[in-house]
Amino acid sequence: MKTLDDYQSGQILLIDKPLNWTSFQVVNKIRWRICKHFNIKKIKVGHAGTLDPLATGLLILCTGKMTKRIDEFQAQTKTYTGKILLGSTTPSYDLETAIDKTYPTAHITPSLIKATAKKFIGEIMQFPPMYSAVKKDGKRLYKMAREGFKVEVKARSVNVLEFEILNINELEIEFKVVCSKGTYIRSLAHDFGKALDSGAHLIALRRTGIGDFNVNNALSIDAFIEELNGI
């Protein structure tokens, strides 16, 4: 069982983030539990890379002095699996918002899907979604989007190392992506739909890896609390 000194000296915690939780909520929950367990008022806890509420999977948390390495972990490559639905788009590029447009899909074949995926491998330019935590003039884009503002955002250079089509079930595409820091999988899904002369949005996302860290070695929040309490 880890001691207070262990957590203050610095720990790397691998957490499997549940659906509908923000990364900030996970950090707050873990920090509060550690403080409660050791009867202390505060301890440093931070995460190394945000996951959207509608995504699940690997979240690296750092405690105490290990928080100094957060930037190092954030810079590592990320691995995701997920599902893209063809033929429709949403303003958020995922299921957070309702479908706003539908598109033809009769021309889309499995061979076209696989060939188009290959076009996204390498260094690409990508616009972050309007419904994202990116800041514009000091304000989060998602707040501006919810208030009805339309703003111009700059494209970013990101690197897609792998974009593998795992399964095609009519208009539902299962995929695996390995990519650099800063890559938005929602934007990738949106741009993928455009490249198919149609539309698309993300309907499921799971982060399975960050560098050498794998979600198979991560704990659920409940499992971490049980381990903390020595259960």
| Whether residue 37 is found in the same domain as residue 112 | no
- β pairing state of 200-210 and 172-179: unpaired
Q: Are residue 117 and residue 31 in the same domain, yes or no?
A: no
Q: Tokens 């995929």 — which residue?
A: 175
Top-confidence residue, 155 or 184: 184
Indicate whether 158 and 200 sit together in one domain: yes
Give residue 155's pLDDT. Answer: 84
Q: Find the catalytic residue in 16, 52, 94, 191.
A: 52
Question: Under 8 Å CB-to-CB from 205, ≥6 apart: which residues?
Answer: 52, 54, 55, 56, 57, 80, 81, 82, 83, 94, 185, 186
pLDDT reported for residue 45: 97
Say if residue 15 is in the same domain as residue 71: yes
67 and 132, same structural domain?
Answer: no
Domain hosting 47: range is 4-75+212-228
Residues 83 and 183 in one domain: yes
Q: Are 21 and 90 members of one domain?
A: no
Position 132 confidence tier, pLDDT thresholds 50, 70, 90: low
Answer whether residue 203 shows pLDDT above 90. yes
Tell me how many domains the chain contains.
2
Residues 91 and 196 in one domain: yes
Q: Torsions phi, psi of 208, nearest 5?
A: -105, -15
Tell whether 206 and 217 lie within a shared domain.
no
CATH of the domain at 187: 3.30.2350.10
- 91 and 13 in a single domain? The answer is no
pLDDT at 212: 96
Query: Active site includes 71?
Result: no
